[in-house]
Each structure stands twice: as C-alpha cells, then as structure tokens.
Amino acid sequence: GAGVSQSPRYKVAKRGQDVALRCDPISGHVSLFWYQQALGQGPEFLTYFQNEAQLDKSGLPSDRFFAERPEGSVSTLKIQRTQQEDSAVYLCASSSERASTDTQYFGPGTRLTVL
Amino acid sequence: AQRVTQPEKLLSVFKGAPVELKCNYSYSGSPELFWYVQYSRQRLQLLLRHISRESIKGFTADLNKGETSFHLKKPFAQEEDSAMYYCALKGSNYKLTFGKGTLLTVNP
C-alpha cells in the first residue's frame, strides 16, 4: 500500500521567506510526527499529533515553526522568516494507533535549503 | 533525559566478514530500542526492535541493560547491507531519540 508521502521533496528558499511543507500520512493512521534532520545528524523530534490535536510541540526550535493537522490526516509544517540554520531534511512519520506502542513509518523527507 | 550514542560514524568491512554496529543509550527507565536503516536514495525504515527479538535480514540485536547497549550484529555481511544505520530509543512517551548514525560500507 501507499506509504507516507511528503511534498515538495526539495525546497530552496531565500533567507526571510516563508515555507510550507506537506505530509500525507498512511491512510487511517492516528499519530503523526515531524522530525528535523540536520546534515550528519540523526532525526530530532519536532512535534506530535494525535488525530487533529497537537499533543507535543516541545521540539519546535522557535516560534517561527508552526505545524497543523486540521482534519486529522494531512499535516503542514510551516516555517516563517527562514534562516540558514533551518536548512535540513524534514521528516514526517505516522503510526496506526497510540504512538507509544506502534511502529513509526517515515516519509522520504523534504530537503530544505535556505540561501 | 534520553540519549543515544553511536560511536562510529563510518564502518567498513569486507563481504562475508562479521559486522557489529555499536549503540549505547542513556535512560533512567525501561526503554524500547530500535534499529532503523536508510539505504541509498530510500527512506528511513525500521530494521528491528528489541521487543520483537527477531532476526531481520540476518541482523540481530540484544538489549543489554547492564551495559546500556543495543549493538547490531550480523555474522556474514553482504554488499546489499551497505547503508546508514540509526539506533533509536523510545522512553515512556512516544518520542524517538536517534543516534547520529553509522554509515556501513561492505566491500566486495
């Protein structure tokens, strides 16, 4: 079946621009996660949704980062006034049930480059 | 706080040789440990998790709570095992904490 999809796969932004990254989780998956992966590092947790509720946003690095999942399926990660340090691969993952028990399935990621 | 350490950034072995990718963790409770793998130009995917106690593609990993380790092992490496390997920990909540990864190269 279809896995987690993300778009765009690549995004180049000029410093100061706003960007929006989209995640389509596996159909029916309740839990959705965003991770940030800087070059040479492992993924780092940003935020977690259970259905449409954002239960944890403790990993968002600044108030320029905002995530939403209004209907409990597709999610968007928005970064305002991008900075060079925002350059990274942004990964989305979903899991079918309660996130504490189920495997997280990852999307291909969006590579963001801020010039 | 939870932390995962993968001490080797790069590991190179010859085909047919044994391979061990090291992972150490720091967590005060009872963690769940995972190995994720990313093949070239593919997405991150789960390789195995300690609670399953299964062997996937010939790889095994045993959780050693005394040494706080979860090393990944395979007795005979294959060229198709060349990939980036990430060890990850899940504590009492849903967050996965990843190590920095080890790039395994299996030479012919």
pLDDT at B92: 75
pLDDT at B91: 81
Cβ-Cβ contacts under 8 Å between A and B: the total is 50
Displacement of CA A17 from its chain's centroid (Å): 18
Q: Which of A58, A76, A80 is nearest to A67 (CA)?
A: A76
Q: How far apart are CA A8 and CA A23, in angstroms?
A: 9
> Which of A6, A46, A51, A106 would you mutate first to test chain B, the one with the most B CBs within 10 A?
A106
Average pLDDT for B87-94 = 86
Q: Which residues contact B13 (CB under 8 A, 6 or more apart)?
A: B19, B77, B104, B105, B106, B107
Name which of A18-22, A26-30, A82-86 the model is least confident about.
A26-30
Residue of B nearest to A101 (CA): B94
pLDDT at A99: 53
> Which of A100, A105, A110, A111 would you mutate first to test chain B, the one with the most B CBs within 10 A?
A100
pLDDT at A100: 56
Q: Is the pLDDT of residue B43 over 80?
A: yes
Instruction: Specify the higher pLDDT residue, A97 or A74.
Output: A74
pLDDT at B72: 96
Give B-chain residues touching A97 at CB under 8 angstroms.
Answer: none
Q: How far apart are CA B38 and CA B5, in angstroms?
A: 18
Average pLDDT for B22-50 = 92
Q: How far is the alpha carbon of B50 from chain A, nearest alpha carbon, in Å?
A: 12
Q: Is the pLDDT of residue A9 over 70?
A: yes
Write out the DSSP string of A54-112: EEE-TT--STTEEEE-TTSS-EEEEESS--GGG-EEEEEEEESS-TTTS--EE---EEE
Query: Residue type at A84?
Result: Q
Instruction: Specify the higher pLDDT residue, B54 or A93.
Output: A93
Q: Which of A111, A106, A83 is nearest to A25 (CA)?
A: A106
Contact A43, B34 (CB under 8 A): no
Instruction: Specify the higher pLDDT residue, A1 or A75.
Output: A75
Average pLDDT, chain B: 93
